[in-house]
């Protein structure tokens, strides 16, 4: 009996030594980035929303993942250690958030390749009908077209026009690929987004015409203009 017990203990020790947990084996030491559209991500002292907030992490901040279990990740960043929801982090190597390629010179205005590509994708969907919450060639709303076009060009943007207005740099002189924002419900609340394509024109998905090109001096759009952002 004693020999049998000792043999079992030895086997257990060997298994525990050779086979770490799947979570630790797959995640230990891996660099992730904070995947949020806006605001900050709470790092807590335990894997629960009831845990005390240790610190707040910003968008795209790099973190080191020690392990993941039941929807929570144990991480460390800038000397702090704690837990965050796994759905708000992603491996650093899986996708670029904003991937700027070499600047391509044109006779009129320099345009980043990814912006030219996004414009090309948007133009390839000319005539596609407007569809509320649509984000693919079967139907687009305004932000769905912009999100889809830049996504195909390698740039990950927030989903709604209001969220998109929180990224990029505000500009007053436009280049192709800049995002133009409008308030169609009055006031200053952003409710519409378009892509500037040059020569005083923009491409967007409008409720009346679907994916189409319009002048930025259009009597409907011009008085509703809020601002422009460059990615």
With 60 as the cut, is the pLDDT of residue 19 above it?
no
Q: Find residue 55's DSSP bridge partners.
A: 43
Stated pTM of the model: 0.55
Task: For the domain made up of 22-91, give the CATH fold.
Answer: SH3 type barrels. (2.30.30)
* DSSP run (H or E) holding 194: strand 192-198
The tokens of 82 are what? 């704690």
Is 142 known to be catalytic? yes
204 is catalytic: yes
Active-site entry in 44, 74, 115, 204: 204
Q: 39 catalytic, yes or no?
A: no
Q: Is there a contact between 149 and 136 (Cβ–Cβ < 8 Å)? A: no
| pLDDT at residue 194 in the model | 98
> With helix as H, strand as E and coil as C, how does 76-142 read?
EECCEEEEEEHHHEEECCCCCCECCCCEECCCCCCEEHHHHHHHHHHHHCCCCCECCCCEECCEECH
More confident call, 97 vs 50: 50
Q: What mean pLDDT do residues 193-200 have? A: 97
The whole-angstrom separation of Cα 130 and Cα 211 is 7
CATH class of 103-230: alpha beta
- Supply 47's token pair: 């894997």
Distance CA 174, CA 225 (A): 13
The 10s digit of each residue's pLDDT in 152-174 is: 998 989 999 999 999 999 999 99
The domain ranges of the chain are: 22-91, 103-230
In three-state form (DSSP H/G/I as H, E/B as E, the rest C), the secondary structure along 151-174 is HHCCECCCCCHHHHCCCCEEECCC
pLDDT score recorded for residue 199: 95
Residue that the structure tokens 């769905």 belong to: 144
Q: Can you say how many angstroms the Cα of residue 40 is from the centroid of all Cα atoms in its chain?
A: 14
> What confidence category does residue 4 fall into, taking pLDDT thresholds of 50, 70 and 90?
low
> Which residue in the list 63, 192, 202, 210 is annotated as catalytic?
192
* Catalytically annotated residue among 84, 111, 121, 142: 142
């Amino acid at each position: 009996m004693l020999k049998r017990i000792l043999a079992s203990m030895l086997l257990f020790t060997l298994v525990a030594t050779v086979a770490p947990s799947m979570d630790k084996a797959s995640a230990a030491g891996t660099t992730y980035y904070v995947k949020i559209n806006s605001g900050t991500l709470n790092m807590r002292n335990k894997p629960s929303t009831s845990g005390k907030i240790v610190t707040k992490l910003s968008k795209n901040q790099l973190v080191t993942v020690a392990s993941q279990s039941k929807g929570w990740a144990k991480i460390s960043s800038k000397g702090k250690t704690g837990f965050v929801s796994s759905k708000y982090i992603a491996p650093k190597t899986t996708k670029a958030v904003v991937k700027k390629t070499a600047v391509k010179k044109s006779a009129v205005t320099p345009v980043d390749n990814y912006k030219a590509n996004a414009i090309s994708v948007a133009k390839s969907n000319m005539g596609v009908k407007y569809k509320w919450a649509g984000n693919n060639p079967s139907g687009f709303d305004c932000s769905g077209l912009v999100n889809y076009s830049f996504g195909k060009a390698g740039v990950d943007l927030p989903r709604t026009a209001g969220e998109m207005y929180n990224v990029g740099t505000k500009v007053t002189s436009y280049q192709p690929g800049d995002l133009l924002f409008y308030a169609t419900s009055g006031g200053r609340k952003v409710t519409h987004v378009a892509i500037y394509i040059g020569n005083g024109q923009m491409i967007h998905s409008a409720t009346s015409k679907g994916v189409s090109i319009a002048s930025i001096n259009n009597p409907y759009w011009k008085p509703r203009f809020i601002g422009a952002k460059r990615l």
